Amino acid sequence: MSQSTSHIPPRPLPVATAETRPFWDGAAEGALRLRRCTHCGRLAAPLAPRCAGCLGDRFTVDTLSGRATLKGRTVLHLNALPGRDGPLVIVECAIEEDPRIVLIALDDSGVTNGALPGQPLQLGFGPDEGGTRFAVVLPAEGPR
């Protein structure tokens, strides 16, 4: 018996603000983009109103490598995202350019099965879902 997919609710969709729009605009193009402080050079987490180091408020937008390491991981067995089959593999990715910045992603491909903390990962973005592409992890690329 096939299951109807017509009434699967979409994933919660982000309502971007000026601070987070560079991230989501980058995601739509499949690129990891974060703001970098023009004063001290530190990267800013997507939500940060100001640089966490010097509290500066001027940024450029950098496209990053997407390289990251595995900080934390859980397999969630509750039906948190209706319409998705099976458990969710949720991972915390510490980005290579500044591991203080941790982004959450799903592992839909099993690359973190049996992984240990610190394993290299590649952060990317999945298919368009309601106009947004969400973070996913992929196998790490090439020599590091």
Partner 1 sequence: MNIVVAGFGSSTLERRSDRGIATFALDAALAALADAGIARDDVDGYVGAPFATNAGSPHAEGGDEISLKTVASLMGLRLTWGVDLFRRYPTDMVTSAAQALTAGTCRFVLGLRALYVAPGLDYATSQTGQVFGADQFTKPYGYTTAGARFAARAWAYMARHGATRDDLFAIVDLSRRNAALNPQAVWRDKPLTREAYFAGRMIAEPHGLFDCDLPVCGAQAFVMCRAEDLPGSAQAARVTGFSGFARPEALWTMSNRSPADLTTAQLYDGFSTMVWEWLDAFGITEPGGAPGFLRDGHAEMGGRLPLNTFGGALGEGRLHGMGHLREAYLQTTGRAGARQQKDGPALVQVGPFDDSSFVLLEPYAHRSGGPSASKASL
- In the block, residue with structure tokens 């491909």: 109
Is residue 28 close enough to count as binding partner 1 by CB under 8 A? Answer: no
Q: Among 25, 28, 76, 131, which residue sits at the site for partner 1 (rule: CB under 8 A)?
A: 76
Nearest CB to partner 1, comparing residues 39 and 52: 52
Count of other CB atoms within 10 angstroms of residue 16: 14
Is residue 14 close enough to count as binding partner 1 by CB under 8 A? Answer: yes
Is residue 104 close enough to count as binding partner 1 by CB under 8 A? Answer: yes
Of 29-37, 48-56, 57-65, 66-74: span binding partner 1 (CB under 8 A) = 66-74
* Token code pair at residue 74: 């859980």
Cβ(27)–Cβ(133) under 8 Å? yes
Is residue 103 close enough to count as binding partner 1 by CB under 8 A? Answer: yes
Q: Where are the beta strands (DSSP E) in 29-130?
A: 33-37, 43-44, 59-63, 67-76, 88-95, 102-106, 120-129
* Token code pair at residue 83: 């319409």
- What residues make contact with partner 1 under the rule CB under 8 A? 9-16, 20, 46-47, 71-82, 88, 90-92, 103-106, 116-117, 132, 134-135
